[in-house]
Chains A and B, each alone.
Chain A
Amino acid sequence: MTSFPTISALRTAIAERHTSATAAAAAACDAIAERDTDLHSFLTVSRERALEQAARIDALADRGDPLPPLAGAPIAIKDVLSTRGVRTTCGSRILENYIPEFDATAVTRLEAAGAVLIGKTNCDEFAMGSSTENSGYGPTRNPRDRERVPGGSSGGSAAAVGAGLALAALGTDTGGSIRQPAAFCGIVGMLPTYGRVSRFGLAAFASSLDHVGPMARSARDAALVLGAIAGRDRLDSTSADRPVPNYEAALAAPLAPPGRRLRIGVPREVFDHPGLDPDVAAQVRASLDVYRAAGCELVDISLPASQAAIAVYYVVATAEASSNLARYDGIRYGVRVPAAALGDLYRQTRDRGFGAEVKRRILLGTYVLSAGYYDAYYRKAQQVRTLICRDFERAFAEVDVICTPTTPTPAFKLGEKAADPLELYLADIFTVPADLAGVPAISFPCGAAGKLPVGLQLIAPAFQEERLLRMAHFFEMAK
């Protein structure tokens, strides 16, 4: 499949019978068996399901029927999204034997658009982490440097796309879990607007923050995947009832709005941040010249409350997680530790099934919601969340997009941040604000620090995904 670098190239080759969807699907599954042994980006390969779908695509091609937009594209799914008949673990031992009876809506829509689901990718347990080291099934390695993490929590999806094992993947992003691994593995990752993509069939972590989004090798492929999965879903009442634009067609439009220059906000708190690696900062600043040369205007802006984003996040997200993860109790699905009394069964099942980080977050979330602490922590964090939303509203009255590095540093080494949970949390400092405000953001590779890829993040007002994809595409073409 490496001979077909994009979704469109493979689709054209299938339509013109230079190859078949079946050959591409078989090659993709074979490549995982051969090349994923040291990366460990996949937890489950769904060869049978892939070949069935590929046969449907080939039947269309045989009849000369028009092919759907993702026809034959081998796509990987983060293992927090439900897949009917294909084991779905959420990276947790508590679900090691769980085989869903239904598909997540994003999965249903990908297949309806012709995609071939080749397997489920590794991730931090219940998407809680930034390195994929919190998986109950062992870590994934970075395809660019095996000593380093691929980022997380969608690290398996990023590594699979980065290594060429999948043309695209679905990830999920609650605090940066699509964009940060995309940056670490040198691919494109997009956080859509809150509500743009249905979460039905996503194992809930923090419901006011969870997003499903595309990870791909180019802005164009990300646009194709987003177009397939976006839109209202009656099975998710938080999904937005807005028309889905043609994201691929939007790539060709001019960068600037009619009659004026495009304004890019550069937040001073981000570029002055003490944890920001100088090589990363220099690479991102130099990349902005591509836009400046195209007539865009750079505007110094301030996002003062965003400095508290990590603190807000670890109150709000853990509070919501403590509630959402109450469902894993050993009764209806997953692992059970038998006990004579029901309370012991719950407690022992959860102790055995959950890993250390998940327990830490459940405890923190339970604590901030407990009597006497609710106002001091949970309510306070929700109020500061409002301030962060207002920061973005103020900024977007002045600028069209905001630019930051996706991450303060390039990919770090396995084990480097494992001893101190707080240090690992701070790796998400530039990605968390967009999740808290529900606005869309994209990360795309803009260069390197040493040999490691650097991600550039652009953030836009709600439902302006077209602008982000267009700007990422423009950068790819300019390079």
Chain B
Amino acid sequence: MPIDVKAIAALASLELSPEEIAPLEGDLARILDYVALLNQLPTADVPPTAHLVDNAPEATLRDDAVRDTVTPWQAPRAALANAPAQAGHLFEVPKIIERG
């Protein structure tokens, strides 16, 4: 089944030019053909592996308590330092009425 690259690009918030779309259709189809070799391996009762660490939450999460220090890179000035557009202490974006 051909892949609707334009529809997938919309899901991924990617604008693609018409010249980009045709080669991507071929690339993705070939890669997915290759990936189909996964179906040669039976996995009926095999659990999925989503991640490799089983750190229990109590081992990895800090106490739910307010810290009295803000590290320098968490300060508002630092957070805004790389913003392409800012107004006062805020990130500036186009007016949002509906998702365009």
Which residues of A pack against B, CB within 8 Å?
A: 84, 97-102, 194-195, 207-208, 234, 237-238, 240-241, 305, 307-308, 310-312, 314-315, 322, 326, 329-336, 339-348, 350-351, 354, 356, 359-360, 362-364, 366-367, 370, 377, 379-387, 389, 421-422, 425, 437-438
Cross-chain contact of B82 among A234, A310, A333, A379 (Cβ < 8 A): A333
Closest to A359 in B: B14
Bound complex: CA of A84 vs CA of B71, how far in Å? 13
Give the contacting residue for A350; candidates B14, B52, B55; CB below 8 A. Answer: B14
By beta carbon, the residue of chain A nearest B92 is A331
A347 with B13: in contact, given A377-B35, A421-B31 (CB under 8 Å)? yes
Flag if B48 contacts A379 (CB, 8 Å).
yes
Chain A residues within 8 Å of B93, by CB: 331, 342, 345
In angstroms, how far is the closest chain A Cβ from the Cβ of B41? 5
On chain A, the residues within 8 Å of B36 by CB distance are 311
Tell which of B24, B38, B51, B100 touches A308, judged by Cβ atoms closer than 8 Å: B38
- Contacts A238-B55, A308-B38, A359-B24 hold; do A366 and B11 have CB atoms under 8 A apart? yes
- Other A-B contacts than A308-B40, A359-B14, A382-B49, 17 sampled, CB-CB below 8 A, are A234-B62, A237-B55, A241-B59, A308-B37, A312-B38, A333-B82, A341-B94, A343-B13, A345-B94, A351-B15, A351-B17, A362-B12, A366-B11, A377-B35, A380-B38, A382-B50, A383-B43
Which B positions have Cβ atoms within 8 angstroms of A? 3, 5, 8-9, 11-17, 20, 24, 27-28, 30-32, 34-41, 43, 46-53, 55, 59-62, 71-73, 78-79, 81-85, 91, 93-94, 96, 99-100
Q: Which chain A positions have C-beta within 8 A of B40?
A: 308
Residues in chain A near residue B49, CB distance under 8 A: 382-383, 385-386, 389
Contact of A385 among B30, B48, B73 (CB under 8 A): B48
Q: Once bound together, how far apart are the Cα atoms of A307 and B83, in whole Å? A: 45
Do A386 and B85 touch across chains, with their CB atoms under 8 A apart? no
Shortest B35–chain A CB gap in Å is: 5
The reply to whether B73 and A101 contact each other, CB–CB distance below 8 Å, is yes
CB neighbours of B30 from chain A (8 A): 422
**How near does chain A come to B72, taking the closest CB pair, in angstroms?**
7
Docked complex Cα distance between A454 and B83 (Å): 45
Whole-angstrom distance from the CB of B54 to the nearest CB of chain A?
A: 10
> What are 8 A-B contacts defined by CB distance under 8 Å?
A207-B51, A314-B34, A322-B12, A333-B83, A341-B94, A345-B94, A356-B20, A379-B48
Report Cα–Cα, A382/B41, bound state, in Å. Answer: 12
> In the complex, what residues of B have CB within 8 A of residue A311's CB?
34-38
Q: List, in ascending order, chain A residues with CB within 8 A of B96's CB.
A: 342
CB <8 Å contact, B48 and A382: yes
* Whole-angstrom distance between the Cβ of A421 and the nearest chain B Cβ: 6
B4 (CB) vs chain A CBs: closest residue: A367
Cα–Cα, bound, A195→B52 (Å): 9
Please judge, given known A-B contacts A383-B43, A421-B31, whether A208 and B20 are in contact too, CB under 8 Å: no
- Bound CA–CA A370/B9 (angstroms): 12
Known contacts A314-B35, A359-B20, A360-B28; A384/B53 CB under 8 A? no
Known contacts A308-B37, A311-B35, A332-B91, A344 near B24 by CB under 8 Å: no
A408 vs B31: C-alpha distance when bound (angstroms):
20
Contacting pair B41 A384 (CB below 8 A)? yes
Which residues on B sit within 8 Å (CB–CB) of A354? Answer: 14
A305 and B94 contacting across the interface, CB-CB below 8 Å:
no
Complex Cα–Cα for A333 and B11 (A): 22
